[in-house]
Amino acid sequence: MKEFNIKPLDKSIKSAVCDKIDNLTKPKGSLGFLEDLALQISLIQHTSSPCLSKPHNILFGGDHGIVAEGVTLSPREVTRQQMVHFAIGTSGINFLCNQHGFKLVLVDAGVDYDFPNELGIIDKKIAKGTRNYLYEDAMSSEEANLAIERGAEIVREAFANGCNIISFGEMGSGNTSSSSLWMSIFGAIPLEECVGAGAGLSSEGVSHKLKILKKSLKRHDINHLRNNPVEALAAYGGYEMVMAVGAMLQAAELQMTILLDGFIMSACLLAASQFYPEVKEYVVYGHVGDENGHRKLIEILRGRPILNLSMRLGEGTGAVCSYPIVESAVRMINEMDNFTDGKVTKYFA
């Protein structure tokens, strides 16, 4: 696997940043979570005057062989249809990127379709969909490693374009199934607590999905997969998800702020943290959604979500939607006066 140089946050400036925040013209701690966010972003950027530059949302698309087993209401062709909608600019993630000034980057990680060049979808296709992991591994370890590298490459390009805050989204019919399996494997959580309705399954549909995933999970020794995470990624992942893992690791190495989206991207972060636990220090949790298991995943990751709007769309929508709060935190530390400069009597110790 590609090696990354991900350093723990340098906290040598923490006391100075906290002092700056505490001496802004407000009661100490009165801006709550904004103060915590300002501190985290300051530590990521190693400055008491952080800035947000050219935010990007990278959306990876890929098809899943397990869809053949009826684990989702969303048929295989929806993946490529939605990727086209993203490119045209008529989907959920588009209005949020437009509203908040994000550049939307679309990446074909493994869609079962050849997109015309004029759509502007970046071709990083590993294959036209993963294999059906009910019977065999979704991909080879070599393919997983290639996906990690290609995801990292996309982030390096965004960074070279001046981006220092980035979010990741996905499109792939069936990818909540892969996310549930990764959550169960890496989080040591019973599969029943990880499986939800996905794109809108009925209770009977969820039961069928759970049955298929349980059978799929029996193909491997779970303890072996926990100790060999590349094999776990290859066994049950999607190309778009493994690319997101590589993208997150690369973003952390480049000391970028990662805005985390929903259930699927949280499962990808959990997977990424198996290789480099330090990646979590660079993550701001955009939201907690309604997909079964998402809240539990955030608890495992020890994250604190900004929003709770019952969202479960994916695509990066929850992450991008949370961006104004992050921007407010940065504006707070940069634009508020302190007591001395503002000539305000400091009325607390």
pLDDT tens digits, one per residue of 266-275: 999 999 999 9
pTM above 0.85, yes or no: yes
User: 3-state DSSP call for residue 56?
Assistant: strand
The verdict on residue 349 lying in a domain is no
Give the structural domain span for 42: 14-50+331-335
* pLDDT surpasses 80 at 346: no
Dihedral sign from CA coordinates of 175, 181, 187, 189:
positive
Same domain for 209 and 276, yes or no, is yes
| Model confidence band, residue 129 (pLDDT cutoffs 50, 70, 90) | very high
The verdict on residue 211 lying in a domain is yes
Cα separation, 144 vs 293, in Å, equals: 24
CB 66 within 8 A of CB 180: no
Same domain for 75 and 167, yes or no, is yes
Same domain for 155 and 37, yes or no, is no
Same domain for 272 and 317, yes or no, is yes
Same domain for 137 and 32, yes or no, is no
CB 71 within 8 A of CB 195: no
Catalytically active residues, by annotation: 315
Same domain for 103 and 243, yes or no, is yes
Same domain for 233 and 143, yes or no, is yes
CB 82 within 8 A of CB 146: no
The verdict on residue 7 lying in a domain is no
The verdict on residue 85 lying in a domain is yes
Same domain for 124 and 30, yes or no, is no
Same domain for 29 and 161, yes or no, is no
Distance of CA 224 to the CA centre of its chain: 25
In this structure, what CATH number is given to the domain that contains residue 172?
3.40.50.10210
Cα separation, 22 vs 172, in Å, equals: 45
Cα separation, 59 vs 171, in Å, equals: 7
- What is the arithmetic mean of pLDDT over 51-57? 98
- What is the arithmetic mean of pLDDT over 90-105? 97
Same domain for 44 and 153, yes or no, is no
The verdict on residue 188 lying in a domain is yes
CB 328 within 8 A of CB 268: no
Q: What is the pLDDT of residue 279?
A: 98
The kind and range of the H/E element at 320 are helix 317-321
CB 315 within 8 A of CB 308: no
The verdict on residue 306 lying in a domain is yes
Same domain for 39 and 74, yes or no, is no
Number of domains present in the structure of the chain: 2
Q: What is the pLDDT of residue 349?
A: 64
pLDDT tens digits, 140-188: 999 999 999 999 999 999 999 999 999 999 999 999 999 999 999 999 9
* pLDDT surpasses 80 at 123: yes
* pLDDT surpasses 90 at 202: no
